[in-house]
Structure 1
Amino acid sequence: MSHPLVLFDDPPDLAPPAINPATFGGATVHELDADSSIVHVRGLITGHDELVRHLSTLAGWERRRRWMYNREVDEPRLTCEYRDLSSAPAFLVEVGAALSWYCGVRYDGLWMNWYRDHHDSTSWHADRPANTQETAVVPVVSLGAARRFLIRRSEGGPSTSFAPAGGDVLIMRGRCQRDWLHSVPKQQSATGPRMSLNFSSTAQVMGQK
């Protein structure tokens, strides 16, 4: 059963974004080590390019600043956050509900990153506050153009590369947030903008289900 986007009026010649829960059945598990893995769900969201167009019109996008070494710099991407998922556009609430069902975790928050072109990126990091727990389940939905998603052990070393297509989900499980770091590097060959939907769980951070 698919869930149509209900927040916006779609042109009659464009299919609205929809969720296809049947794709959960074809998910691929990539074992990073005995305690950490990434599940790749392909094609969970159809009409993802149209969804990117809709989400780009939201008022909450901002370019945040952060400290790097001894100075404050602009982050090379835009971010929009819903600390209360229920206040997000209705379709995103539906996506969160589908992932909550599949992952067995109550997701109640969302932050989105918008990589506008090949200059935008996210450096090596673990997701906070999910990394405060021994284990966590953190889903990241990709929309728009494919970009590389890299993950490596916290102490360094070679990275494992994923290239989720638009509409795909990568779910980091186990100790991915404790023992590993991930990034979305600059990519000269990027063919267009990409957005990521990163779902968070208050209950999970509190050590609950």
Structure 2
Amino acid sequence: MSVSLQGALFDHAERRWLEHGAWIDVRAGWYDAPDGLFDELLTAIPWRAERRQMYERVLDVPRLVSFHNLVTDEAPHPALKQLRRRLNDIYAGELGEPFTTAGLCLYRDGNDSVAWHGDNIGRSRTEDTMVAIVSLGAPRTFAMRPRGGGPSLRLKHAHGDLLVMGGSCQRTWEHAVPKTARPTGPRISIQFRPRDVR
């Protein structure tokens, strides 16, 4: 897939079928009031830094995070429940269950990132599922590649865009937000998942 075509995926809503039973939906500008929400989430969310064991060292996770069960816990901002409701209206029938949690990541600048991984802790290790990501703030590259090798995708995930990964995506593909040397502002990623998927 050419770089220009990859970038054009977010120009309109489209389901893109990938290999191994995986697919992505891309919807540019899906959330139509991103400016105010971005500013509010920066201060309303209880952001925390994490440290993680990586091989033989404990390292700082290069982003700030916050996780919320929107069914059992108080949401730190009402828009999280509103976004969840809207996503469930669109996808819960196909998924067979609702989205229940919101995980948020704050990428403060181009040095913050997330390494290659799949959201395959819990049921998504063996079952098809969906993960829906709403992006707010500075555009960042969202990279995807098949597990075990093959052509990768590099998508520009911009302010207000929605990306949904479905089917076998979490088991058969990996995704990442790579570091960038290019000056860039902060970005908030809101990931909605069904129960027991991380």
Partner of 1:40: 26
Map Cα deviations across residues 84-119 of structure 1 (whole Å, 9 max, x no partner): 355211111000011111112411111100000010
Map Cα deviations across residues 114-173 of structure 1 (whole Å, 9 max, x no partner): 000010000001113352232111101111111000111111343111112110110001
Residue pairs, 1:160-171, within 5 angstroms: 160-171=153-164
SS across alignment from 1:100: helix
Whole-angstrom distance in 1 between the partners of 2:123 and 2:116:
15
Given that 1:60 and 1:81 are in contact with CA atoms closer than 8 Å, whether structure 2 keeps it comes out as: no
Residue pairs, 1:4-83, within 5 angstroms: 27-33=13-19, 35-58=21-44, 60-83=46-69
Partner of 2:131: 138
Partner of 1:187: 180
Report which stretch shifted further, 82-91 or 182-191: 82-91
SS across alignment from 1:152: strand
Gap regions ≥5 residues in structure 2: 1-11
- Is 1:94 equivalent to 2:71 in the alignment? no
- Is 1:153 equivalent to 2:140 in the alignment? no
Whole-angstrom distance in 2 between the partners of 1:168 and 1:194:
12
Whole-angstrom distance in 2 between the partners of 1:30 and 1:130:
23
Partner of 1:8: none
Given that 2:129 and 2:168 are in contact with CA atoms closer than 8 Å, whether structure 1 keeps it comes out as: yes
| Counterpart residue type for residue 89 of structure 2 | W
Whole-angstrom distance in 1 between the partners of 2:146 and 2:25:
17
Residue pairs, 1:117-136, within 5 angstroms: 117-127=109-119, 128-129=121-122, 131-136=124-129
Aligned CA RMSD, in angstroms, stands at 1.7
Whole-angstrom distance in 2 between the partners of 1:100 and 1:67:
35
Provide the TM-score with structure 2 as the length reference: 0.84
Partner of 2:167: 174
Given that 1:130 and 1:177 are in contact with CA atoms closer than 8 Å, whether structure 2 keeps it comes out as: no
| Counterpart residue type for residue 133 of structure 2 | V
SS across alignment from 2:66: strand
Whole-angstrom distance in 1 between the partners of 2:15 and 2:104:
24
Number of aligned residue pairs: 179
- Structure holding more helix per residue: 2
